């Protein structure tokens, strides 16, 4: 489709203005077809940016290597440019939106010379769903177009829903590398230097402007930019929730079904939990989403969630057939790999894939690499943030309801982090506000590998949203509290999901006490029961805990281990409360909801009784 054929007058003008500013050689409006996807991949292969993989082992798969400066989200170059600095809050980077737009407009000027501008109409969520939102991304990267094809619903069907005057979120993106006459990328990943990269969000006008990066969440603007940073603002204003949460479907041996969401900071096993294969006989877990949940109230007063994405953009290292068999099966075909290692027979390899490197590899920098297990300082073959982009529909565990436009009814929220001590295996909130308190103090213990923080320090990531909330986190906490108040006022408080905190990472002198992975189904079974006010439990100062015999024990976990996993460490919790009071909550100043301060006092009082 050509720009002139766009029926939405506002969209047509927006694209024409972008063309005038960015000066591309040509413009294409994406139709979302398989032929279009195949053409994008072929363009990147012809430009030396993509390597086709072994069609016998990985049919339809390709490998990209990015520039070393362009390998992850650049949080220090990510901005929330609200009109008022106070609306961005202390945990976001703020720049005056007028100044930022002036700076970026000059960067965009002529930025697409020598390139094609692609206009990507995309739906976050099933096309036409009342919970879904439409975005339009302008980009000069065929890599971005191909990834957006997998991660979102792209094309003509989205324009049909948008109609002549529908609402969309406008998203600018350029890799920031214009080409001279006759110049080509010639195998060199296009991007701008780090100090010219900008991933900018304008919450007041609902716009996203990204410049200089071609990678991941910096460039796939449906991902964190729209689905969380802008959507969190829309959700606040419209009375719903846009969360950094997995969604899973769980069935008990009797065939009863519940849907559970979970928020976990990075490296806490969110995708693994979403694709869990239960070790508990008779139980079944299916995947609705592995990263983001959008939730709105239904007429029955329950929260209904959709997964706004259509694919998985997962971290490769550590993913293997033991940690996540369903992910490994998902990415066996039609998958884009970025910054993993290449074997001699055009297969992929990464650290902790489950087997040693098969001979000589080409590492993510394009250099020869031979595994040396005696060299602990050997640089990894795959970048630690290397990725796979795979279609969700290929997941063997995908739930039938994953694209239900009405969403699925949520029974429980899980929060969790990596905590070797203090936090029990599972803990149910006493009330909605207590659950919001638990979400607000989520964190993981920093290891010695983190150079910027003392080992043993708790790095807080409230609701796992700290890098992704488009406004002040104090106001975000208040929004959660208001959601509960609204349900109560409507007489539907009993319809709200129950809230739980889980911690698979408790340690003793022998290592992890709980085996995790598929054995986590035993904890999910107790949560399932508690959603119906069943299951054995004990009321404690910190919340509702299972009795040690309420959760069936996996092999290798003793009765004493269960006592350890489920005990209330009074002194540890006193230290936790003190850390929250002294180091965490003060960050939010006068915007910290008084309900959370009251909850903090109440827990401290119970611990001292």
Give the pairing of strands 361-362 and 341-343. antiparallel
Contact 173, 144 (CB under 8 A): yes
Calculated CA dihedral for residues 387, 388, 392, 393, nearest 10 degrees: 180
Rg (CA), the chain: 24
Contact status, residue 307 vs residue 289, Cβ threshold 8 Å: yes
Instruction: Dump the DSSP string for 510-570.
Output: TEESS--GGGGHHHHHHHHHHHTT-S-EEEETTEEEE-TTSSPPPTT--HHHHHHHT---H
The rounded distance, in Å, linking the Cα atoms of 568 and 548 is 12
**Among candidates 255, 210, 251, 190, which has minimal Cα distance to 73?**
210
At 284, which helix (H) or strand (E)?
strand 284-289
Q: Report the candidate in 310, 462, 298, 322 with the shortest Cα–Cα distance to residue 390.
A: 310
Task: Tell me the torsion sign for CA atoms 313, 447, 371, 377.
Answer: positive
How many angstroms separate the CA atoms of 383 and 367, rounded? 13
Distance from the Cα of residue 518 to its chain's centroid: 21
Rounded to the nearest angstrom, the gap between the alpha carbon of residue 301 and the centroid of all alpha carbons in its chain is 27
Write out the DSSP string of 216-246. HHHH-TIIIIIIIIIHHHHHHHHT-EEES-E
3-state SS, residue 430: coil
- At 155 the three-state DSSP class reads coil
Cβ pair 477, 462 in contact under 8 A: yes
Task: Round to the nearest angstrom and report the end-to-end CA distance of the chain.
Answer: 70
Q: How many CB atoms lie within 10 A of CB 569?
A: 15
As a whole number of angstroms, the distance between CA 135 and CA 154 comes to: 10
The kind and range of the H/E element at 82 are none
d(C-alpha 604, C-alpha 513), whole Å: 27
Q: How many CA atoms lie within 13 A of 39 on its CB side?
A: 9
Which are the catalytic amino acids?
Answer: 268
Q: Are 219 and 144 in contact (CB under 8 A)?
A: yes
The CA-based angle 310-314-318, given to 5 degrees, is 150
| DSSP notation for 302-370 | -EEEE---SEEEEE-TT--TTT-HHHHHHTTSS-EEES-EEETTS-EE-TTSSS---S-EE-TTS-EE-
Interior/surface letters 272-284, b for 16+ CB within 10 angstroms, e for the rest: bbbbbbbbbeebb
């Amino acid at each position: 489709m050509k720009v002139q054929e766009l029926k939405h007058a506002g969209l047509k003008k927006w694209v024409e203005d972008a063309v005038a500013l960015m000066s591309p050689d040509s413009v294409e409006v994406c139709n979302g077809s398989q032929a279009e996807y195949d053409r994008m991949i072929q363009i990147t292969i012809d430009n030396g940016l993509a390597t086709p993989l072994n069609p016998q082992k990985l049919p339809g798969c390709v490998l990209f290597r990015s520039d070393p400066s362009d390998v992850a989200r650049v949080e220090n170059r990510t901005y929330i440019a609200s009109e008022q600095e106070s609306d961005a809050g202390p945990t976001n980077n703020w720049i005056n939106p007028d100044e930022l737009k002036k700076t970026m407009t000059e960067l965009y000027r002529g930025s697409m010379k020598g390139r094609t501008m692609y206009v990507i109409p995309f739906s976050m969520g099933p096309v036409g769903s009342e919970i879904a939102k439409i975005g339009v991304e302008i980009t000069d990267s065929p890599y971005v177009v191909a990834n957006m094809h997998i991660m979102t619903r792209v094309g003509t069907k989205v324009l049909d829903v948008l109609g002549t005057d529908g609402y969309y979120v406008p998203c600018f993106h350029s890799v920031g590398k214009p080409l001279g006459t006759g110049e080509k990328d010639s195998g060199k990943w296009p991007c701008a230097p780090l100090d010219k990269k900008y991933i900018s969000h304008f919450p007041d006008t609902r716009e996203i402007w990204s410049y200089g990066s071609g990678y991941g969440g910096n460039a796939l603007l449906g991902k964190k930019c729209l689905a969380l940073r802008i959507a969190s603002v829309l959700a606040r204003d419209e009375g719903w929730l846009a969360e950094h949460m997995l969604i899973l479907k769980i069935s008990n041996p009797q065939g009863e079904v519940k849907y559970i969401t979970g928020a976990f900071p990075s490296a806490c096993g969110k995708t693994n939990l979403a694709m869990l294969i239960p070790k508990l006989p008779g139980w079944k877990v299916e995947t609705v989403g592995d990263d983001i949940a959008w939730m709105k109230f239904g007429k029955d007063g329950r929260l209904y969630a959709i997964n706004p994405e259509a694919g998985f953009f997962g971290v490769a290292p550590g993913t293997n057939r033991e940690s996540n068999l369903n992910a490994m099966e998902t990415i066996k075909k039609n998958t884009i790999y970025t910054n993993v290692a290449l074997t001699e027979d055009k297969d992929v390899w990464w650290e902790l894939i489950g087997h040693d490197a098969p001979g000589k590899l080409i590492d993510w920098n394009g250099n020869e690499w031979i595994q040396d297990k005696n060299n602990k300082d050997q640089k990894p073959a795959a970048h630690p943030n290397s990725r796979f982009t795979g279609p969700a529909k290929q997941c063997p565990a995908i739930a039938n309801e994953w694209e239900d436009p009405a969403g699925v009814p949520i029974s429980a929220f899980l929060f969790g982090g990596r905590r070797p001590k203090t936090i029990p295996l599972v803990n149910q909130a006493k009330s909605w506000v207590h659950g919001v308190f638990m979400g607000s103090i989520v964190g993981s213990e920093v290891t010695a590998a983190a150079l910027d923080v003392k080992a043993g320090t708790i790095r807080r990531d409230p609701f796992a949203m700290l890098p992704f909330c488009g406004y002040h986190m104090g106001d975000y906490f208040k929004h959660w509290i208001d959601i509960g108040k609204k349900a109560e006022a409507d007489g539907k408080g009993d319809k709200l999901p129950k809230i739980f905190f889980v911690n698979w990472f408790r340690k003793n002198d022998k290592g992890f006490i709980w085996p995790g992975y598929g054995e986590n189904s035993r904890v999910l079974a107790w949560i399932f029961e508690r959603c119906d006010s069943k299951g054995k439990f004990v009321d404690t100062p910190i919340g509702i805990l299972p009795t040690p015999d309420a959760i069936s024990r996996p092999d290798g976990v003793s009765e004493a281990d269960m006592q350890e996993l489920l005990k209330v460490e009074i002194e540890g919790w006193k230290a936790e409360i003190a850390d929250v009071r002294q180091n965490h909550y003060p960050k939010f100043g006068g915007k910290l909801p008084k309900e959370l301060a009251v909850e903090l006092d109440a827990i401290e009082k119970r611990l001292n009784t």
